[in-house]
Amino acid sequence: MFWYLLLLWGGISAVEVQRPRGVPLSKRPFYEENKPFTCLDGSRTIPFDRINDDYCDCQDGSDEPGTAACPNGNFHCTNAGFRPTFIPSSHVNDGICDCCDATDEYNSGAECQNTCRELWRKEKESMQKLAEIAKEGFLLKQQLIQEAKRGLEEKQTKLGEVQNSKKDLETNVEALRTAKEAAEQPEKEAKERHLKAWEEQNAAIRMEKDKVRMAEVFIELDADGDGFVSVAELLSHSEMDPDSSDGSFTEAEAQELLGGVDKVNTAAFETIWSKIREKYVSESNTDGPAPVETPQEEVREPVSDNDSEPYPDDDIPEEEDEDEDEDEDEDMDDGDYKSPPVTRTDEKKDDSEEGAMPPYDQETQNLIDAAQKARNEFEEAERALREVDDQIRNLEKEISFDFGPSSEFAYLYSQCYELTTGEYVYRLCPFNRVSQKPKYGGSETNLGTWGKWAGPEGNVYSVMKYEQGTGCWQGPNRSTTVKLTCGKETVVTSTSEPSRCEYLMEFTSPAVCQEAPDLEVSDIHEEL
């Protein structure tokens, strides 16, 4: 706009064009003296002498451009030496100077000064400053465009290099995958052999212990020592009753446990041992007194040699809590650790005596180490391939991004700019997000993430839109509109919240500057 105003500045020529007061030159043809006047809305035609007679004849007020008779009329301020403008007709002769040339107060008695030239002088200075900023900004913009062009070429070259390296990495990953699988197979087989040998060893130990226990039980059941276990001898052990619900262990039930015979020797006892094993209770466990656990309250800590005082009663954990913990431990699943009971079967003792699996032999350990090394190398190669994929995605995104007609806005990418106000610190990261954080501590609020260029047609790169920020309480998601103006520096100049949860940010950048025409400012043409 100011280019247009400056270009209007030419040599002085005072040309007076006769027309009714308050009529602009553009509408002069509609007001021909000594000819009937037709209202500009076409509603009626009146004699010309009724123009500006201080009586409103036309509904659109066009017959009273120079008086306050029509409430909807407009008065044209010629403002010779400055800029023409329109004011409501109601402001004519109201005692207030609205036109800088004082033409609106021709009959009010108000003492108005013609300030048009002074206004123009000030505006001219302002426009010259803006023109200088635009000129310098445009030069910076050209540098930004060249830098963006070089940057784009570098990124395209880098993308090609990375894509080529990806092929090599993919080949390497597949080779290392094959090597890993080849190393893991003998490792797996060696581990399985080691486990199988350990299990077989444990099974042999269990079998040997089971035979020893079977012999001990046979001896205990053979009360008369005749080398046979009889029905009568079996009946002395009521725990052997297969049907404990009736409370009676009969001879028939005992005979059935012995395989249908009255007595069995050692060899025959081995065939029925599986029926006896789980039910039999050794006489040594029933006749003797059960081991007594030491009560918790009787356990005492060793007396300390120092003279420090004991903890106060309040600091000592209550014993009930410990008892409850013990009860809970007893209710845990079989897979969980259980405190050893007072009386345990020999079988459980045997299981616990098996212990942990022994260390691998050196040959197996070497296979494990080799497989682990292959896994590490494969995982490292996979990680490098993922990093390259990320790099390719980022480069492709940046190369294809809309940074303006000549990529002049590319320098803003990955940058952030802050503005500190009385209460908040506002942070604009172009093409990423806008945020707000309390100045004196507190969490950050997202005011929107990059959405699109949203300027008007023909100047779309003058406005940025950031959307889908943090939701307002019982309201919409926050959003921010960033208006860009020409400036030598890249800076956030102001922020506001014109509507609830909708923010406005002013941002200057040389990338917005346009080329200024060569201007020679002298005097202004005056419309009279």
DSSP reduced 3-state for 86: strand
Whether residue 159 sits in one domain with residue 233: yes
Whether residue 156 sits in one domain with residue 245: yes
3-state helix, strand, coil in the chain (%, to 5): 45, 15, 40
Average pLDDT, the chain: 82
In-domain check, residue 450: yes
Whether residue 190 sits in one domain with residue 82: no
User: Which of 113, 138, 164 delimits the end of a domain?
Assistant: 113
Whether residue 272 sits in one domain with residue 168: yes
Stretch 484-502: mean pLDDT, rounded? 93
- Is the pLDDT at 232 greater than 60? The verdict is yes
Listing DSSP states for 370-405 in one string gives HHHHHHHHHHHHHHHHHHHHHHHHHHHHHHHS---T
In-domain check, residue 362: no
Write down the pLDDT at residue 336. Answer: 40
Stretch 465-488: mean pLDDT, rounded? 93
In-domain check, residue 327: no
Lowest-confidence segment of 227-236, 307-316, 404-413, 507-516 by average pLDDT: 307-316
Write down the pLDDT at residue 284. Answer: 62
CB 486, CB 499: distance < 8 Å? no
Distance CA 420, CA 427 (A): 9
Listing DSSP states for 182-249 in one string gives HHHHHHHHHHHHHHHHHHHHHHHHHHHHHHHHHHHHHHHH-TT-SS-EEHHHHHT-GGG-S-GGGS--
User: Which of 248, 279, 310 delimits the end of a domain?
Assistant: 279
Give the pLDDT confidence of 498-518 residue by residue, as tens digits. 999 999 999 999 998 988 666
Distance CA 176, CA 519 (A): 70
Whether residue 270 sits in one domain with residue 198: yes
Stretch 125-146: mean pLDDT, rounded? 85
Count how many domains the chain has. Answer: 3
What's the start-to-end Cα distance of the chain, in Å?
A: 23
Q: Who wins on pLDDT, 179 or 132?
A: 179
- Is the pLDDT at 454 greater than 80? The verdict is yes
Question: In which domain, by residue range, is 447 found?
Answer: 410-509
Whether residue 199 sits in one domain with residue 103: no
Whether residue 269 sits in one domain with residue 156: yes
Listing DSSP states for 39-59 in one string gives PTTSS-EE-GGGTTSSS--ST
The continuous run of DSSP H or E covering 504 comes out as strand 502-509
Residue 299 banded pLDDT, cuts 50, 70, 90: very low
Whether residue 421 sits in one domain with residue 504: yes
CB 84, CB 77: distance < 8 Å? yes
- Is the pLDDT at 468 greater than 70? The verdict is yes
In-domain check, residue 416: yes
Residues β-bridged to residue 463: 483
Distance CA 393, CA 382 (A): 17
In-domain check, residue 316: no
Distance CA 450, CA 479 (A): 10
Whether residue 161 sits in one domain with residue 95: no
Residue 233 banded pLDDT, cuts 50, 70, 90: confident
Q: Which of 246, 216, 252 is nearest to 231 (CA)?
A: 252
Q: Which tokens sit at 104?
A: 């609106």
Whether residue 270 sits in one domain with residue 180: yes
The continuous run of DSSP H or E covering 526 comes out as strand 526-527
Angular region, 506: left φ>0, alpha ψ -120 to 50, beta rest: beta
Q: Who wins on pLDDT, 377 or 2?
A: 377
Q: Which tokens sit at 12?
A: 């002085």
Whether residue 93 sits in one domain with residue 45: yes
Distance CA 411, CA 418 (A): 16
Tracing tokens 């806005």 back to the chain, one arrives at: 409
Write down the pLDDT at residue 376. Answer: 97
Whether residue 63 sits in one domain with residue 184: no
User: Which of 86, 113, 140 delimits the end of a domain?
Assistant: 113
Write down the pLDDT at residue 507. Answer: 96
Write down the pLDDT at residue 395. Answer: 92
In-domain check, residue 220: yes
Please give the DSSP secondary-structure letter assigned to residue 71.
Answer: T
Write down the pLDDT at residue 137. Answer: 84
CB 68, CB 58: distance < 8 Å? no
Q: Which of 203, 195, 281, 293 is nearest to 237 (CA)?
A: 281
Residue 1 banded pLDDT, cuts 50, 70, 90: very low
Stretch 396-402: mean pLDDT, rounded? 90
In-domain check, residue 351: no
